[in-house]
Chain A
């Protein structure tokens, strides 16, 4: 029998609900904050072949659609009813897990004696052991520092808890009781999913469920291909950077060439991206991973909000991600902050879609998320307690038809803040201000979302501040189609006082009593020519205090008099700016397609590290063994910086050939 379209609609609702019910059970009975408050977990139903056929939409993390489970499933065969597997290692699971703090659990679902599906769930645990509480340290340079490594194994065999496995899991973490509580919540959730699938088999029969689960994936794939087919056939390229890798000031470059062919085929080629690094930003993608095409899911869900969500969505995508690169790191590189690469590639693919589908795609958002945290010492006991102050993200890009969102971006738009009142009740600090930063959204017909600013004063001695994930202090979020790049982020000590000191990026900072730290995020890029923004909208922004009169004049060409807009002066100013802008556009560096404004910081970097230099460098570095590339990159960077100007490709090759024997390296 084949599944008719009505049954497909019914099964789509039923299995999505099953995945969501598991999610609600998990969230309800979990113990720790990441799960209950930040929704850092998800659930799914998986085919025996290892593809998700149902995914929760109403709750849970949305970035995990399209993971390939088959490598993990195969390793643990044979499966028996009531087995439950556990794993967290990104390398051993080929990208099912993406960093060690995530526990992934799998349970086979049998009906009428046959394996019909797997239930899967992951949770971000508040601690997985390792070098720091919480396990994530940006400067970690090896996986082994980031916590206990769990290669796929069975926690339950045929319903029997493997006590030795449990003991091994829990004796290596800082909060064993809480983790065990959370794992039990996951186990309950897997049971819910299992019962729902078995119920479906009772209702519709084994054959119908087996056909239905595959048909749902085909259905999602069909819808995705139809949407991708709105792109013309062609090839587009883009590159962008993490500004640095925390342990050095070297940017990390990701390059992407995308090719779309008839039938909705999309090929993403990351060749030319930088090698993996000696810090925790590596993505262990296994060569193909949803984290590398997150913007595609954004595009699909924007073009068709009712599209079914399952592993079929990633089927139209083929990927080439060189082994040992930042987007396909090899064992045992550190991966704790791999989400930075997810965000970076989100922006890069977004830029590719912007070229392929003009008029649909927003400008770049902040492209970073800083988790601002304090560790405060109780002066009486000396004991320290750590708290997150706020997630600091930054504005989204301006959009065709509307301005960007203030203070958050699409890839992290589900993240909530903490009310200042709750925060101050928990943590002995005083928030001086928490507001948007005027003039920070990139100018545009539709301006970028504004940056956020938080200023707080500390009351306890030796308060330690960490700010994991800070980026875009130099390289601005790009503007699109004439829109300007958004503002960079910034950090100050005692701002707007005589003692004010600009801090730049914060890795770790110690504050004394009465000191005030001010952190500002980047703003989103603008969309469309700011000179086309109606003067009335600019005036409204000036009246709201979001745009200064200076910026109105400089960026938008709007001159305000005492009674509002000075129409004649505005017309003159706009004409002058248009003429100037055309001159500027023709003289701009051609490193990026003309539709993008990358701002000054990136242009400055690319004066020396031209795309040609970076491409050649990537090619040369990849002739070395994976483990040697990062060291070689550090060394060649110093040499390039010591040159009087940007080297040509030939000069760079000569530098390279000279350098290798000095370092005792040889290319393979």
Chain B
């Protein structure tokens, strides 16, 4: 019965499916147009399409996982719940002051993001804890009651409570919550100490506020999804991807919708790790170039770099997520020639509506995709599986405009656009590498998204990388990532003490976290998840520092009180991150974090038929190579056999993308369907 496992990713233009047939081991990629404003509708149509084209009966879907952008869109479009916030008296302006700084101080019309809860719905509660969690002033029940009455009068749909030092002692928040529940039954209440109890009141409040803010819309969407899946006869309980690269049930997502904010980019990285591992590649940089931006992530030894400092809509998200950084332009980014005649790409974007001029939807500004088309990189017949007809004439017209402003011809303009786009990507990527102390030459670039494989060789050339791994279906990698993800959740306990004093607290914290984690897994994992693993990490720092680093720990060190080993791990990590360490300085343990992973079955890759020698091209296309158009071989990805090789310059066409193999690069097809490109001459 449960023959198929299906992963879905809903993008702005397309809803991507990755279906794994557990009987044949076959992986099926499928794309269906997204229905704007009604993503479930588009999803349903895609399922219909899969059923018709590949005979996948809804009743045979045993596992269904999907990424949702409802939470992130609710936040960006500011269409969330009407909230009230309860804060410690004296701190009513927590959301106005934020962390004081403004994102672009040089810009006179800039500022901090507008608070999600306006000042008139922020209420001061008489209570105060000290830094050690002890009570300085007891909670005033009266002041809570008054605030509840005022919040209800102001029409609040949910109440968020964030008191100072509640991460150390949740008592006041919990007591206040109990009063709210008595006074206003049915109102949603979120406590900062329950969602993600870490030090830093603004960031902790934001996590709770965002969670409550997106909760009603996420819940509504998930209810609709479950209903429609059941109607369609899908027996599987839907799973939802999360920003940490794991998955959880729809029920879990209703309680912690903030966990889905960055799930889209995270799924892509998980997909990249999954395909790269089949080729034995464990150190990689992902390059996802879609319609609006180019995003990268660093993966070391098969593990994605975790970040606790990501921002969504300018709000800090202090939870561990897979760190994905935007490094520049996407296919929709606008090409600008400034008054001084200098070429620039972005930051404006034409989006998907009207989109680049070549989409023929009324777009009149030249975008990167127009340059790709004019440069011969795209096949107008197969672009997006033939579902978007490209208008070469319109692209030609806007690129001629660019060319005349630059005083060159169309080929010169495309060459210029590609060089500037590549230089910008190089600039940002090299900075990320410098900030991390990473030597990119040790890494393999894994491009995906519609335009990643088009620019990968150029970016690699520019930055000195010599290996590019193109996944079998770069356009549906997020859906594959969703399908490959484990059931996973993180838990945090604040310790905030010198390491030398942490021995018993550490073991206690570990036991608490582990119990919470197991209980969560028991409720969330589908039947049949046999194995699970637990990873531990601490946020640590030298005494006096105001920033922490993330140090992976062994459970044995924690349970066995082996503080020396913890200290050594910290010093070593500090040296890696900051290039120096001082083993004699006292260290502090700020938080202990535990992540539980319930291992899910992974889709394998059916082996390709074997071939040998040079892959025969299916044709030739005029493509820009260097500064001129040349006739280059075009291979069809579906025709390529394991073990075959190709040499640049050339193009590999497939339904969801085109790969440009640059001069000086050769490609080899792996059994698992990956295409490994290697630079053979500098």
Contacts and interface: CB of A to CB of B under 8 A. Distances in A.
Contact of A417 (B99, B199, B339): B99
Interface in A54-94: 58, 62
A28 B578 contact: yes
B136 A306 contact: no
B423 interface: yes
Nearest to A27: B435
A188 B437 CA distance: 12
Interface centre among A219, A415, A421, A426 (most CB of B within 10 A): A421
A546 B496 contact: no
B580 A13 contact: no
A24 interface: yes
Contacts of B545: 33
B93 A416 contact: no
B90 A435 contact: yes
Nearest to A459: B130
Interface centre among A36, A219, A393, A544 (most CB of B within 10 A): A544
Contacts of B97: 406-407, 417, 434-436, 452
A2 interface: no
Nearest to B119: A544
A420 B100 contact: no
Contacts of A29: 578-580
B342 A219 contact: yes
B185 interface: no
B131 A421 contact: yes
Nearest to A423: B131
B676 to A, nearest CB: 26
A27 B111 CA distance: 25
Nearest to B428: A17
A422 B90 contact: no
Contacts of B423: 9-10, 13-14
B90 A433 contact: yes
Nearest to A457: B136
Contacts of A25: 434, 437
A8 B423 CA distance: 11
Interface stretch (B14-22, B102-110, B447-455, B563-571): B102-110
Contacts of A361: 108
Contacts of A543: 120
A444 B201 CA distance: 33
Given A361-B108, A412-B105, A430-B136, A435 B131 contact: no
Contact of B427 (A5, A17, A425): A17
Interface in B195-240: 199-203
B100 A407 contact: yes
A414 B101 contact: yes
Interface stretch (A205-213, A295-303, A467-475, A626-634): A295-303
Contact of B338 (A16, A306, A545): A306
Contacts of A5: 337, 340-343, 406-407, 416
Interface size class of A (residues with CB under 8 A): 35 or more
A420 to B, nearest CB: 6
Contacts of A297: 106
Nearest to A435: B93
B424 A13 contact: yes
A298 B108 contact: yes
Interface stretch (A397-405, A579-587, A592-600): A397-405
A37 interface: yes
A74 B99 CA distance: 43
A6 B406 contact: yes
A407 B200 CA distance: 19
Contacts of A6: 343, 406, 412, 415-416, 419-420
Interface centre among B119, B339, B544 (most CB of A within 10 A): B119
B92 A415 contact: no
A630 B592 CA distance: 59
Contact of B340 (A222, A407, A408): A222
Interface in A144-199: 181, 184-185, 188, 192
A431 interface: yes
Contact of B164 (A223, A416, A421): A421
B106 A410 contact: yes
B109 A302 contact: yes
A338 interface: no
A403 to B, nearest CB: 9
Contacts of A436: 93, 96-97
A322 B407 CA distance: 47
Interface in B61-107: 89-93, 96-97, 99-102, 104-107
Contact of A306 (B104, B203, B344, B412): B344
A8 B496 CA distance: 51
A421 B94 CA distance: 12
A452 B545 CA distance: 26
A391 interface: yes
B431 interface: yes
Contacts of A298: 106, 108
B420 A434 contact: no
A422 B199 contact: yes
B430 interface: yes
A160 B232 CA distance: 76
Contact of B90 (A188, A412, A434): A434
B108 A410 contact: yes
Nearest to A414: B105
A410 B577 contact: no
B419 A10 contact: yes
Interface in A352-408: 361-362, 390-391, 393, 399, 401-402, 405-408
A20 B429 CA distance: 11
Nearest to B494: A421
Contacts of A30: 578
B424 A421 contact: no
Interface in B398-444: 406-407, 412, 415-416, 419-420, 423-424, 426-428, 430-431, 434-437
A436 B115 CA distance: 14
A650 B322 CA distance: 74
A181 B580 contact: yes
B52 to A, nearest CB: 48
B118 interface: yes
A412 B100 CA distance: 10
A423 B83 CA distance: 28
Contacts of B202: 419
A619 to B, nearest CB: 35
Contacts of B131: 421, 424-425
A411 B128 CA distance: 35
B102 A413 contact: yes
Contact of B200 (A219, A305, A410, A422): A422
A490 interface: no
A295 to B, nearest CB: 10
Contacts of A188: 579
Contacts of A328: none
A211 to B, nearest CB: 15
Given A301-B106, A405-B102, A413-B104, 6 more contacts: A5-B343, A17-B427, A405-B112, A410-B105, A436-B93, A544-B119
24 contacts: A6-B406, A13-B424, A13-B426, A17-B428, A20-B427, A24-B434, A27-B435, A28-B434, A188-B579, A223-B340, A297-B106, A301-B106, A302-B107, A408-B105, A412-B105, A413-B110, A415-B100, A419-B199, A420-B164, A425-B131, A425-B199, A433-B90, A434-B91, A452-B97
Interface of B: 89-93, 96-97, 99-102, 104-112, 118-120, 128, 130-131, 136, 164-165, 167, 199-203, 337-344, 406-407, 412, 415-416, 419-420, 423-424, 426-428, 430-431, 434-437, 496, 544-547, 577-580
Interface of A: 5-6, 8-10, 12-14, 16-17, 20-22, 24-25, 27-31, 33, 36-37, 58, 62, 181, 184-185, 188, 192, 219, 222-223, 226, 297-299, 301-302, 305-306, 361-362, 390-391, 393, 399, 401-402, 405-408, 410-422, 424-426, 430-436, 452, 455, 543-546
* Closest 6 pairs between A and B when the two form their complex, measured CB to CB: A413-B105, A433-B90, A17-B427, A6-B416, A29-B579, A417-B100
